[in-house]
Amino acid sequence: MNRPELQSQPIQSGDASILAVVEELTVSLRPAGITDPRRVAIDVVAALLGVPRTWPMLNRDVTVDTAIVTSARSAVRMLGAGAPFAYAVGSVCFRHLNLFVDQRVLIPRPETEVLVGEVLERMEAMRPGSASWGTALDVGTGSGAIALSLASEGRFDRVIATDASLDALDVARINASRSAAMLNAEVEFRHGSLLSPVRDVKVTALVSNPPYIAYSEAETLPASVRDWEPPIAVLSAQNGIAATAAILRGGVRVLESGGVIGLEVDERRASLVAELMMGHPGYTGVGVGLDLTGRERFVFASRR
């Protein structure tokens, strides 16, 4: 049975039912050619309310205030302009965290969740039953997703997070504040390129999702990435390998003996990164890890 065409009128003022908001958003989304605009409208409302996707239509008669309606309309306008969903609603889920995101930072991806999980498993294997895992380092923290996940799920005493962008660090600090009740470790943010802010520390784990797309490949990226996400977090010189290679070189300096390094990489360059690691006398136990779709997405090693 076909759903009748919605003829919803814009909500004029004051509180409105969830159903009324969903119907208005659905009508607004249709001209943008978005697939399943009603589903997207429901997802927008759910994200703004911080509830599961099924909740809005199970509670369609519940009223929401004007602030939610205003935010929902703003989100729909951004979606219509091609913005990624996370930017439109201002948040994204990452492992156990709900993070604030905007165009100052890269949107955390599920692949990076896998990276964090693998590093946590390797730390547990390295120090089974230990009450303290020492200090972890997140290079190029962006939204703080990796650093805050390590601080909330691991047994580190301290997590240091670096970024070359002051704007990104502002976002990461917002997320640290939002996640404070979940953190088991002190999180320290430092401004500077890659490992330059951490010349004074030794760490047991170094984790990074550095920029790894070549500048020559920028135009081949999806518009939602190319036109919206910060180039500093996406693009790297030397055919996309410059940032990764710099982290490998600097990692030897900051990692304790036996310490774990885990990097997210371009699937096309995973073998190259692994070869660089194997060719460095400071690393041992080099291995390539797969993401949820079976692609070579991570490279791991231990400090010799």
What is the average pLDDT value for the chain, to the nearest integer? 95
Do both 35 and 166 map to the same domain? no
Report pLDDT for 277: 98
Residue 92 or 5, more confident: 92
- For the domain that residue 154 is a member of, what is the CATH number? 3.40.50.150
Task: Give yes or no: residues 268 and 208 share one domain.
Answer: yes
User: 285-304 burial, b for 16+ CB within 10 Å, e for fewer?
Assistant: ebebbebeeeebbbbbbbbe
pLDDT at 169: 99
Mean pLDDT of 207-231: 98
- Does 109 lie in the same domain as 59? no
Q: Which pLDDT band holds residue 10 (cuts at 50, 70, 90)?
A: low
Per the domain annotation, does 155 fall within a domain?
Answer: yes
In this predicted structure, the answer to whether residue 3 has a pLDDT above a threshold of 70 is: no
Residue 122 shares a structural domain with residue 197: yes
Same structural domain, 44 and 111: no
Give the domain range for residue 299: 104-303
pLDDT score, position 72: 98
Percent of the chain residues past pLDDT 90, beyond the cut: 94
When pLDDT is averaged across residues 56-66 and rounded to a whole number, the result is 96
pTM, rounded to two decimals: 0.93
In the prediction, which pLDDT does 2 show? Answer: 38
- Quick one: CA dihedral 162, 164, 166, 167, positive or negative? negative
Residues 213 and 286 in one domain: yes
| Mean pLDDT score, 266-288 | 98
Is residue 41 in some structural domain? yes
Asked whether residue 6 carries a pLDDT value surpassing 60, the answer given is no
Please check whether residues 44 and 135 belong to one and the same domain: no
User: Based on the domain organization, do 114 and 263 belong to the same domain?
Assistant: yes
Low-confidence winner among 7-16, 134-143, 256-265, 278-287 (lowest mean pLDDT): 7-16
Q: Is residue 262 part of a domain?
A: yes
Residues 274 and 132 in one domain: yes
Query: Average pLDDT, stretch 42-64?
Result: 97
Task: Provide the pLDDT for residue 14.
Answer: 56
Candidates 251, 252, 262, 244; CA nearest to 125 is 262
pLDDT for residue 81 is more than 80: yes
Q: Are residues 111 and 210 in the same domain?
A: yes
9 domain-assigned: no
Instruction: Note every long-range contact of 5-11, with CB atoms under 8 Å and residues 24 or more positions apart, other chains counting.
Output: 11/69
| Model confidence at 192: pLDDT above 50 | yes
The total number of structural domains in the chain stands at: 2
CA distance 235 to 192: 17
Residue 231 contacts residue 167 (beta carbons within 8 Å): no
The SS3 call for residue 266 is: coil
51 and 156 share a domain? no
